[in-house]
Amino acid sequence: MGPVPWTTLSNGVKMPLLGLGTSLARGHELENALRIALDNGYRLIDTAEFYKNEEFIGNVIEEYVEKGKIKRSEVFIMTKLPVYGQREPKRFIEESLKKLKMDYIDLYLIHNPMGFMKTEGEDSIKI
């Protein structure tokens, strides 16, 4: 596969047009898949706090940066605020940054933005 094309967003930020989603992947399976993706030109990595895999992604990105295979600025990292984190977005951003071993996230989304109200009783939704 050749280099993945990038686009420029209206605010001037450059973003790859093809990325790797990591929803159900963890551990060595994810690390190996991410290495293969990076070696084949993928530069957008989609993760989320809810996926419980940010640390694995951080390990591989750190490894590739330290080996000089990529620069952090060449990878577009997208992660998400969990639906249960709406009252503490700063805490979740800080936790994601720590797990990813990064000092910035390229795109931070609200994951599955639904409104929940904490209620008591048999009809309440447990989060």
Domain coverage including residue 74:
14-110
pLDDT digits (tens, 9 = 90+) for 34-46: 999 999 999 999 9
Classify residue 106: in a domain, yes or no.
yes
Measured between alpha carbons, how far is residue 61 from residues 13, 30, 88 in Å? 20, 12, 26
For residue 5, give both structure tokens. Answer: 């094309």
pLDDT digits (tens, 9 = 90+) for 16-39: 999 999 998 999 999 999 999 999
Under 8 Å CB-to-CB from 10, ≥6 apart: which residues?
none
Q: How many domains does the chain have?
A: 1
Classify residue 105: in a domain, yes or no.
yes
Q: Is 104 a catalytic residue?
A: no
Residues composing the chain: 127
Catalytic choice (42, 51, 84, 108): 51
User: What CA–CA distance (Å, rounded) separates 39 from 41?
Assistant: 6
Classify residue 99: in a domain, yes or no.
yes
Classify residue 125: in a domain, yes or no.
no
What global pTM score does this model have? 0.85
Residue at token pair 């591989």: 60
CATH number at residue 24: 3.20.20.100
Classify residue 2: in a domain, yes or no.
no
